[in-house]
Structure 1
Amino acid sequence: MINTLIKAVKQSLAKKITTWVMSVLMVLVLLIVGGAHWITTNFYQEHLENEVEERLRAHTEILLAEQRGEDIYQYLNQLEAGKNSYLIMTDSEGRLLFSTDNVLTAFIEDYLEFIETAKVRLEAVDEDVMIDEVKMQMAFHIPHVWGAAVIRNDEGEATGYVFIDQDTEELNSARLKLLLLLVVMGAITLGVGYVLVSYLTRKISNPLNEMSQRTEDIAKGDFDIELYVTGKDEVGRLGENIRQMTIQLKEFRDSRRQFISHISHDLRTPITYIKGYSALMKDATQAEQEDWRRHLSVIYEEAKRMENLVSDLFLLTKLEEGKIQLEVAPLYVRSWMEALIESRAIMFDQKEITASLTIDPKLENTTVMLDSFRVAQALINLLENAIRFTPVGGKICLACYLEEDNVVFKVTDTGEGMDKKTTTYIWQRFYKGDPSRSRNNGGTGLGLAIVKQIAEAHDGFVNVTSEPGEGSSFYMYIKAK
């Protein structure tokens, strides 16, 4: 049973916190009560010893100054009245001369025996007063204080002894009431502390338990969960982080599934062509040169398509993982961009597209810091994308200008245009929301995703504006350095 309880405490954060806090509170209460017991015992004991000593000295002075008789004895009896004490006086031989009215006969023998002992000790140390304690059988009771003082004449000879037994019942009762009050307050503190700690730990542990259960579900692959944790404290922020993590994991899962689906489809198609035409050539009984040339042409184009797909995918993966080191260097943009336009001249001519280049006058004689090879890759992807969706006789404009702290590259076409839904997802790899973005257009579905990653590698971003039937404008912003 105890082992089960200990195991439950170890496995529960709330029980751990409750156990530790209650243990600390209990130790503090015990220290307070124990400290109060020790302080009050020593304080009252020292106070009584000093008081008894002063009274013994005062009584010896009275007995020396006054003639011993019934009057002086009555006076002593009145002085001790109400002090919860017992007083006796003996002669130098230890014979009883006087006792207060409250002294019981049964106690006198013990008192006389103490006086005999005191006589020896007082002579040995040459003192007039001796104080001692008598332990009580009752627990937590302050010891009685006994004291004896010698009465000396002018020659210093002992003529008698005064003895006082100070009862501590009254003081002990007050002390016990104080200790009882502290114990009750300590018990109330422990009770209130337990309730508060239990409430607070449950308030903390319940959301943690829920988050723990949800993370177990996430670990098993269930991302369609609802986590109800509110607040702006650490627990609330942790719950919000788990929610965001779940959303990202779900997006990653969906993206991975889409990626596998897209890559499987885009690879299966050229493989099917290659396999089919290869089978035709293998099984042909007669080799027609024209047919073979046509078949080989298809096989070559599909193999090239596969190569481009794998190359683009490899480049995009390296860009996303930040494994490509940019080689940034100063660059005059006009001659560089003219070369880009010229490199795609044949593609423009094939569709009779008019291409133009516009350079901001501020950049005519100014260098721009960028990786010319990677940015050229991005711009070529944008140009080829524009050529692909621009009809015969259309126009494409490549522009470069400054906007605030950015160098902006803009590619505008007079093609088909896109709706708002398409422009939202166009930068995702393999996105083919528009039927026109099919394999018949010759793209891999990765070009715009690569443009986005290259821009972000330069601390920039991308944008697109488009309307169906009115063409599109693609923007690539690069931080000016």
Structure 2
Amino acid sequence: MVRELALKFSIAALPVAIRLPLAAAGMIFFAAVASTQVALSVMARQTAQQTELLGQIYLDGLSAVLLPHVRAGDSEAARAALHNALSFHEGIVERQLAFVDARSAIVVAARGETVAPQAIPSEVATRVAGTISGRDGSAWFWRPLQTGSEAYGTVVARLDVSGFQRDRERLRWLLLAADLAFSGLCAVAGFFMVRRIQQPVALIAQRLYEAALGLPKPIEAAAMPVDKPSRLMFHAFNAMVHASREREDMLAHMAEQQRKADLGQLAAVIAHEVRNPLGGMRTAVSTLRHFGDQASVREETLGFLARGVDALGQVVDATLASYRPQADWRQLTRQDLDDLRLLVEADSRARGVRLMVEIDLPENVPVPALEVRQVLLNLLLNAIRATPRDGQVGLSARLEQASLVLKVSDTGEGMTRSVIRAYEAGLDEPGGPGLGIGIVIRLVERLNGRIGIEASPRAGTTVTLALPLQPEEQKP
């Protein structure tokens, strides 16, 4: 059982290009051997029948010699006739001859001088005629001696048929060896014939595998088969390869067109966003040329230029946030919030604004660290720049249910209604506060978060962000 299973799995592990020819070769070999065995079996039966017929023919001649003596009742003459028959053996050697008289039950027998006698088989008395083969290469034959309806007895002969048996065995082994050789040759020829028939399918399978790896190649004309079905299959494969290449070329062309369209859109956005600050800055430069000797005008114009440069920086930041590749995802940590505090402290000290930070979070929070840092950095810078000297900017962070809640507050003059609508509606309207608003809108939308804004001229502005926590299976 173990050997059968091992053989089964070893054959199953072979590729189809080998298994199918092997199966065909095995079937050819089995069919050839089986047909030869059937032929040998039929030949053996015919040989046995011919041997029996030969024995009966011998008994016919012996009966013709004995019949006159048996009719006359001369036993001695019958015995002499049997001895004479033993003296002549051309092709067939007689070992024992006998006549069993049916009337007197007398057995007249004769045997060769060098032959060991054997008892007459008991079947002679129970069967009218028959044949029995012995193990020593001899065979017993018997038949009744009669004329018309009168029976005189039974003629019995033990003949040496070993020569026939040897010839038959020799012929049998010769045919078996020839059959095995011929069957093996047919099996080998069948194996290579099936392999040759399989070549078109194997070539198609190989090219399909290469196409799955992204390397589709058409089949060369020299490899085209002669038969029409295989040739049609090859033509269909080549048509598929050409269609695939055309599709890839079309996709590449469309990707190039899309890239150009994106670049055009990017250029249009930058031109639109940069044009207004540049126009104002050009006016400021002209003012400096004409009225630069006046301290108040010079101070006001330089401040306007600084704000214009800041506005251009904001456009660049928003563009980078929208188009640069995303970094790998990682959780927000308390260290990220401490880094934010360090980043904005220099700006807050330069403007004389106090920074109050209140963090009530575990060490790790399952939200994207880089996006949250970018949102908070822009909101804190906005708040610091909107807060007058000696004012205060606050940052608080805590967990509420399945969300991270962040609050950025300032004691400035408060956002205008247009700015609040821009935040709440996700708009980035030209002429708004601009500093990071585009970045904030896009990043909060990407995080599936919500923005809440409270603003008043006396209490300043408080921006509340609610960002959903991301379970492990939702992380990018």
What TM-score, normalized by structure 2, do the two folds share? 0.46
